[in-house]
C-alpha cells in the first residue's frame, strides 16, 4: 500500500545522529532523530525537542571542556582525587550526568557554516535552515496536502530512523573525548510505520494533531506523516500511553517447563502527529517556501 510513497518520502527524509556519554564511563550511547526537507533552499522541519537537544549540546560540551581544563591543571599528588571531587561538585557531575553530546546530519548538504532555526511557540515543531552549503544531498522535498482532510479509519504512514545502527564513533582515551570516525557503519536503515487514524488532537477548539493506532518510535520524531501517494499530512512528534486496564497481577504460568509468577500492566501506545495545517501556517509565518498538491 505504501511502497511507492515510502520511496518518495525517503528522498527528502533524513536522520540526525547523536552520540551521548555520561560522566561515569567511556561507553557511548547512539541515538537518532528525523527531519524532512520542504524546499530546495536547505529548509527542513523537525520537532522542537530535537532542536532543543541540538542547541543544548554545545553548552554541555563547553561545560565539560572547561571541567577538563581545570582537572588537567591539578597537581598529580596525593590530593588529586580530593580536588577532582571538588570539581565534580562545582560542575554538578555525578555518575549519571550527561557530559557530552555530539550530533551530525546525514546526507543533507555537502558542507555547512552552521544552521539556524525557528521554534514554534506552542507546538513541538521547528524549522531548521542549513547555511553555507554548496550542494544539496537530498533528492526532493515534501509536497504537502493542500486541503488536509483526514478521517478516522484512514491509514497513514510515518518514516524515520528509530533504530540507530551506526558505529562510526569512538572514545578517545587520550583526549577524554567522544569522536566521529571515518570507519564503521555511518548509516541506519529507514523504518516506516503505518497506523490507522483513531482520533484528533485539539486545544481551545483548534485542531493541531492526528492520533494513530500505532506508536511513533523513538528516533521517528520529526519524520513525515504521509498518505499512500506520498503527500505529507503531518509530522510525528510523540507517543501517548493509555492504560488498558487488562492487568495481570502475580499470575502463575509455565515457561520452559518451570512455574513462574508474573505481573503485566497493559498499555496501548498511540502515535501523535502535528497536523500539516499547523506546519504550513508556521512556514508561511517565517516566509519559508513550501509546496502543495
Task: Answer whether residue 26 shows pLDDT above 80.
Answer: no
Per residue in 46-87, pLDDT tens?
999 999 999 999 999 999 999 999 999 998 889 999 999 999
Euclidean distance between CA atoms 131 and 180, whole angstroms: 21
DSSP string, 135-199: -B------EE-SS----TT-EEEEEE--S-----EEEETTTTEEEE-SSS------EEEEEEEEE
The pLDDT of residue 1:
87
Three-class secondary structure of residue 114 per DSSP:
strand
Give the span between the Cα atoms of 240 and 250, in whole angstroms. Answer: 26
Of 141, 98, 164, 128, which is closest to residue 290 (Cα–Cα)?
A: 141
Query: Over pLDDT 70: what percentage of the chain?
Result: 100
Is the model's pLDDT at 293 over the cut of 80? yes
Set out the domains of the chain in order of their start, with CATH numbers: 3-292 (2.40.10.120)
Residue closest to 18 by CA, chosen among 158, 182, 164: 164
Average pLDDT, the chain: 94
C-alpha 140/C-alpha 160 separation (Å) is 16
**208 to 187, 199, 237, 280, 281: CA distances (angstroms):** 33, 12, 12, 12, 11
pLDDT band at 201 (very low <50, low <70, confident <90, very high): very high
Residue 95 has pLDDT above 80, yes or no: yes
pLDDT in tens, 205-250: 789 999 999 999 999 999 999 999 999 999 999 999 999 999 999 9
Distance separating alpha carbons of residues 47 and 54, to the nearest angstrom: 11
Q: Express the helix, strand and coil content of the chain in percent, nearest 5 each.
A: 20, 40, 40
Summarize the confidence of residues 251-257 as an average pLDDT: 90
N- to C-terminal Cα distance for the chain?
20
Cβ proximity of 117 and 129 under 8 Å: yes
- Is 291 within 8 Å of 221 (Cβ atoms)? no
DSSP state of 207: E
Which residues on neighbouring strands pair with residue 194, listed in sequence order? 157
Q: What's the confidence (pLDDT) of residue 38?
A: 98
Predicted pLDDT of residue 123? 97
158-184 residue pLDDT tens: 999 999 999 999 999 889 999 999 999
How much is the pLDDT for 98?
93
**Residues whose CB is less than 8 angstroms from the CB of residue 114 and which lie 6 or more positions away in sequence, other chains included:** 131, 132
Q: How confident is the model at residue 204 (pLDDT cuts 50, 70, 90)?
A: confident
Amino acid at each position: 500500500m505504501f511502497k511507492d510513497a515510502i520511496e518518495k518520502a525517503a528522498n527528502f527524509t533524513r536522520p540526525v545522529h547523536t552520540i551521548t556519554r555520561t560522566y561515569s564511563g567511556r561507553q557511548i550511547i547512539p541515538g537518532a532523530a528525523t527531519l524532512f526537507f520542504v524546499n530546495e533552499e536547505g529548509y527542513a522541519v523537525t520537532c522542537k525537542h530535537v532542536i532543543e537537544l541540538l542547541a543544548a549540546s554545545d553548552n554541555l560540551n563547553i561545560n565539560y571542556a572547561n571541567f577538563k581544563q581545570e582537572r588537567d591543571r591539578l597537581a598529580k599528588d596525593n590530593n588529586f582525587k580530593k580536588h577532582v571531587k571538588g570539581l565534580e561538585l562545582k560542575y554538578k557531575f555525578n555518575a549519571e550526568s550527561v557530559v557530552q553530546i555530539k550530533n551530525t546530519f546525514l546526507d543533507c548538504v555537502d558542507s555547512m557554516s552552521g544552521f539556524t532555526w525557528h521554534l514554534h511557540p506552542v507546538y513541538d515543531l521547528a524549522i531548521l535552515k542549513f547555511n553555507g552549503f554548496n550542494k544539496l544531498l537530498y533528492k526532493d522535498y515534501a509536497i504537502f496536502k493542500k486541503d488536509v482532510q483526514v478521517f478516522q479509519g484512514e491509514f497513514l504512514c510515518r518514516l524515520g530512523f528509530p533504530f540507530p545502527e551506526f558505529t562510526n564513533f569512538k572514545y578517545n582515551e587520550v583526549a577524554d573525548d567522544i569522536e566521529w570516525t571515518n570507519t564503521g557503519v555511518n548509516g541506519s536503515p529507514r523504518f516506516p510505520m503505518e497506523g490507522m487514524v483513531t482520533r484528533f488532537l485539539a486545544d481551545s477548539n483548534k485542531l493541531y494533531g492526528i492520533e494513530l493506532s500505532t506508536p511513533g518510535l523513538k528516533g521517528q520524531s520529526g519524520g513525515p506523516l504521509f498518505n499512500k501517494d506520498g503527500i505529507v499530512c503531518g509530522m510525528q512528534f510523540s507517543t501517548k500511553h493509555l492504560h488498558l486496564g487488562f492487568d495481570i497481577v502475580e499470575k502463575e504460568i509455565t515457561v520452559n517447563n518451570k512455574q513462574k509468577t508474573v505481573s503485566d500492566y497493559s498499555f496501548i501506545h498511540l502515535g501523535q502527529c502535528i497536523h500539516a495545517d499547523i506546519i504550513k501556517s508556521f512556514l508561511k509565518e517565517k516566509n519559508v517556501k513550501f509546496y502543495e498538491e
